[in-house]
A and B are shown apart, each in its own frame.
Chain A
Amino acid sequence: MKKEYYLGVDIGSISTKGVIIDNMNNIIADDYLWTEGNPIEAVKKLINSLYKQAGDVNIVGVGTTGSARYLIGKILNATVIKNEITAHAIGTMSLIPDVKTIIEIGGQDSKIILIDKGIVIDYAMNTICAAGTGAFLSSQAKRLGVNIEDFGEIALKSKNCPKLSARCSVFAESDLVHKLQMGYKKEDVIRGLCNAIVSNYLNNVAKGKRIKPKIVFQGGVSKNIGVKKAFEEQLGEEVITIDKGHLMGALGIALIAKKSDSRINFDFNIKDYNFKTVGMECNGCANNCEIVSVYKNDEIIDQYGNKCERGIYNR
C-alpha cells in the first residue's frame, strides 16, 4: 500500500503557509510566501513549491484554514475547512504538548488561546480594535525606512524607550511621528512601538484572561524579537517562539485533516489549472449580497456569499 500524506494550507491576509505531513506527523515539505492580495495565485505557487520538495506523494487529506479558507478549500477540494483558532491550537499542541497559553499576532488579527490538559478552554480574538497589528508594523517600518525583518534587532539596540500611546494604532502612529520630530532616536521609537503593541494586546485581546506559562508566541509578528522581548518584560514570564511558529496553522489543519474520516485523491495538477473568481452583486432584494462564483477552467465549481436561495447559479 502506498504511504499516505496530508496537506494543510493556511491562507492569511498577508502570507500563505502550507505543509505536507506523513503518517507519523513529520513535516516533509513546507513553504511560506506572501499572499499579495491574490490567494489563488499564492496557493498555486505554494502547491508548486511543495510539489518540488516532496515529489509526487499520495495525498489523501487536505485541510484549509485562514481568512481565505472557503475559497481555497473549494479550489483544493479540501476535506476539512476549519477556522484558524482550532488549527493553531492543535498545531502548537502537537509540538509543545504542555503549552498553556498561545499568543498569536498575525497580519490582520490577534488572538489568545488558553489551553488546559490538552484542550482549548478559552480564547479571545481582537474585537473592534487591535486589528491589523502586523500590517501596522510593516507600514510603520516603511515610514521609518527600515526593513521589517530588521525591526526587532533595531529595537534591541535601544537603551531608553519613550512611552508611545497604545490605545489605538491611529494614536500610536501620530505619537510616533511626534516623538521622531521631537528628536528621539529611531531605535528608541521602534522599541517604544514594540512596547505599545504589547500593552495594546494585553489590554484589549487578553483582557481578563489569566496568562499562565508555558507561553508560546506565534504568528508573523513573533518573528520580531523586539515584540517578544516586550512580552517577556511585561508578563514577567519566559515567552517561547517556535522556529516553525508561522506554520502552526497549516500543521494544525493538516493534523485535523488526518483525523477526519473523509479522504480524497489530491491532484497536484491543480497548479496548472486556470482558476477564476467573479464577484457580483445580487440584486434580488435590498440586501444586495455579494456573491462570488469560482470557476475552474471556465467551469463553475462553487458560489457563495448569498443569504438566500435567490440569485445563486445564474451567471
Chain B
Amino acid sequence: MKKVISFPNFGNYYIPLKTFLSKITKCKVITAPKNTKKTLELGSKYSPDFVCLPFKYTLGNYLESIECGANVLVQAGGGCRYGYYGEIQDKILKDLDYDITFINLMENGSFSLIKFYKSAKRLNPNLSFINFIHNVLITLTAFICMDKMDHYVRANSKYEINKGTLNKIKSRFLDFIPNNFSIIKMIRLYKRNKQDMKFNIDKKINKSTIKIGLIGELFSLIEKSSSYNIEEYLMNRGIEVKRYTDITYLLIGKRFNERKILNKSKRYAKYKLGADSSDNIAHAIELAELGFDGIIHLKPFSCSPEINTVPILQRVSEDYDIPVLFLTFDSQYAKGAVDTRIEAFIDMLIMRKENNLNEERILSRS
C-alpha cells in the first residue's frame, strides 16, 4: 500500500511542514482540510466530552485526512495534556478500525528529534541523518521567517496605506515557501517581501489607536479558526496586536528565556507552573510595562495550565492597572457571546485611553 502522510492543522505552519515531510520521507503528503464546523463535529463525536478543544480539532483533522486517503498520521506534543494526545488519538483511531500508522513524536513526555528521524527512516530507508538535519534546519528557518513576518504584520497593519496589503504580501510569501526550500533562498525571499511591506505602510497614520496583547494557550492563539479569528478581528479594526506565542517561541525562545521568565513572574509564582503558564504571567507584566492598553487571554475549555494562570493574571491586572479579558473556547460556545465581550472590551479600552489623554491635557495645562 502506498503511504500517504497527513498531520493536523496548526496555523500556517502546514506549508513548510508539508514540504519538509515530503522531502525526508519521499512519500505523498496531504494537508488536512481546513478546520470547519464539520471538523469539530467529527472530532467531538469520537472524543471524551471533557477533553480540551485542540484534541477534538486534531482528531477531526485526522478523520478528515483519512477520508482524503491518508494512512500515516503524525502527532507532536507539549508540556501539558498535549503530551498524551498522540497515544489516545492512536487508540481511538485503532478502535474505529482504521488501518493507519500513527507516528507519535513524543517520547517519555518530551519531543524527541531522534525518534522523529527513526520514524522517517522507516518510511524512507535512504534517508541520511545529515540530510534529515539539513531539512530540519531549513524548516526552522522557514518558521522563523514566517513568525517574524507575522510579528511585523501584527505591529504594523494599522499603518497600512491600503487596507489588506500586508496580508496579501504575507500570503504571497507563504505561497513561495515550497519552491524556495533552502536556507539562503528562504532568507532572501523573506527579506524581499519584508521590504515590500515597508513600502506599503505609512507610520504617520493611525498613531494613537489602542494596543492589545494576546496571551494564553498556544493552540487557540496559533490555530485561529479555533478562537473565532480574534486576531484578524482586532487588526481589521486598526488595533495593534502583540502576541508572543508562536512556533519560534515554543521551539527556541522558550528554552533561552526560562530564567528571564521566572525572574519576571517571581512576584506571583516562585516555581515554574507548567506548559506556558509562567510565560504568560511574565508576558502580561511585560505588556503592562510596554504601555499596552489591554490583554486578551485565550484558552480552550478545561485547559488546566491556563486555568491556573487566571487568578494570577487577575492580580497582575489589578497591580499594573491593565484590563484583562478572559475568553474560553469550547465546542459548544456561541459566537455572539464572544463578539459582545470583545466589542465591549474594545469600547472600554478606547474610553480609558481617551480619559487618560484628557487627564494628561488638563495636568499639562495647569
Residues of A within 8 A of B (CB): 67, 82-86, 109, 117-123, 125, 127-128, 207-208, 210, 285-288
Q: Which of A208, A210, A285 contacts B311 (CB 8 A)?
A: A208
**Extra inter-chain contacts (7) besides given A67-B336, A122-B317, A125-B337, CB under 8 Å:** A85-B347, A86-B348, A122-B348, A127-B326, A128-B301, A128-B330, A286-B33
Residues of A within 8 A of B330 (CB): 128
Q: Which of A82, A119, A208 contacts B355 (CB 8 A)?
A: A119
Q: List 25 A-B contacts (CB under 8 A).
A: A67-B336, A82-B347, A83-B340, A83-B343, A83-B344, A84-B340, A85-B347, A86-B343, A86-B348, A119-B348, A119-B351, A119-B352, A122-B317, A123-B344, A123-B345, A123-B348, A125-B341, A127-B326, A127-B328, A128-B301, A208-B314, A210-B318, A286-B38, A287-B36, A288-B38
List the 8 closest A-B pairs by CB distance, nearest first.
A85-B344, A286-B36, A286-B38, A208-B314, A287-B36, A86-B347, A83-B343, A120-B348
A122 to B316, CA, bound (A): 13
| Minimum Cβ distance to chain A for residue B296 (Å) | 13
| Minimum Cβ distance to chain A for residue B61 (Å) | 12
Annotate B148-190 by CB proximity to A: 1 below 8 A, 0 otherwise. Answer: 0000000000000000000000000000000000000000000
Residues of B within 8 A of A117 (CB): 355
Determine chain A's interface SS by DSSP, over half rule. loop
On whether the beta carbons of A85 and B33 are closer than 8 Å, the reply is no
Interface set, chain B 345-366, CB cutoff 8 A to A? 345, 347-348, 351-352, 355
Chain B, interface residues (CB within 8 Å), range: 20 to 34
The chain B residue with its CB closest to the CB of A69 is: B340
The chain B residue with its CB closest to the CB of A65 is: B340
Annotate B298-333 by CB proximity to A: 1 below 8 A, 0 otherwise. Answer: 000100000000010010011000010010101000
A122 to B323, CA, bound (A): 6
**Interface assignment of B203: CB less than 8 Å from any CB of chain A:** no
**Interface assignment of B39: CB less than 8 Å from any CB of chain A:** yes
Residues of B within 8 A of A210 (CB): 318
**Interface assignment of B37: CB less than 8 Å from any CB of chain A:** yes
A286 with B37, Cβ < 8 A, contacts A85-B344, A128-B330 known: yes
| Minimum Cβ distance to chain A for residue B86 (Å) | 25
| Minimum Cβ distance to chain B for residue A120 (Å) | 5
On whether the beta carbons of A85 and B355 are closer than 8 Å, the reply is no
| Minimum Cβ distance to chain A for residue B40 (Å) | 10
| Minimum Cβ distance to chain B for residue A92 (Å) | 14
Q: Which of A85, A121, A128, A287 contacts B352 (CB 8 A)?
A: A121
| Minimum Cβ distance to chain A for residue B60 (Å) | 10
A122 to B336, CA, bound (A): 20
Determine chain B's interface SS by DSSP, over half rule. helix
A208 to B38, CA, bound (A): 37
Residues of A within 8 A of B355 (CB): 117-119
On whether the beta carbons of A121 and B323 are closer than 8 Å, the reply is yes
On whether the beta carbons of A86 and B344 are closer than 8 Å, the reply is yes
A123 to B340, CA, bound (A): 12
A19 to B351, CA, bound (A): 24
On whether the beta carbons of B39 and A286 are closer than 8 Å, the reply is yes
Residues of A within 8 A of B337 (CB): 109, 125
On whether the beta carbons of B340 and A285 are closer than 8 Å, the reply is no
On whether the beta carbons of A125 and B351 are closer than 8 Å, the reply is no
Residues of B within 8 A of A128 (CB): 301, 328, 330
The chain A residue with its CB closest to the CB of B229 is: A307
On whether the beta carbons of B37 and A287 are closer than 8 Å, the reply is yes
On whether the beta carbons of B37 and A121 are closer than 8 Å, the reply is no
A287 to B348, CA, bound (A): 32
| Minimum Cβ distance to chain A for residue B232 (Å) | 11
Most buried by A among B318, B323, B344: B344
| Minimum Cβ distance to chain B for residue A228 (Å) | 25
A231 to B345, CA, bound (A): 26
Most buried by A among B37, B317, B326: B37
A75 to B235, CA, bound (A): 29
| Minimum Cβ distance to chain B for residue A131 (Å) | 9
A120 to B355, CA, bound (A): 10
Residues of A within 8 A of B311 (CB): 208
Residues of A within 8 A of B343 (CB): 82-83, 86
A286 to B301, CA, bound (A): 23
| Minimum Cβ distance to chain B for residue A82 (Å) | 7
On whether the beta carbons of A83 and B347 are closer than 8 Å, the reply is yes
A120 to B347, CA, bound (A): 9
Residues of B within 8 A of A84 (CB): 340, 344
A82 to B311, CA, bound (A): 30
On whether the beta carbons of B323 and A288 are closer than 8 Å, the reply is no
A86 to B345, CA, bound (A): 9
Residues of A within 8 A of B345 (CB): 123
The chain B residue with its CB closest to the CB of A120 is: B348
The chain A residue with its CB closest to the CB of B39 is: A286
Annotate B33-66 by CB proximity to A: 1 below 8 A, 0 otherwise. Answer: 1001111000000000000000000000000000
The chain B residue with its CB closest to the CB of A117 is: B355
On whether the beta carbons of B351 and A85 are closer than 8 Å, the reply is no
A127 to B329, CA, bound (A): 10
Residues of B within 8 A of A85 (CB): 340, 344, 347-348
A120 to B114, CA, bound (A): 54
A125 to B328, CA, bound (A): 12
| Minimum Cβ distance to chain A for residue B313 (Å) | 9
Residues of B within 8 A of A288 (CB): 36-38
A83 to B345, CA, bound (A): 10
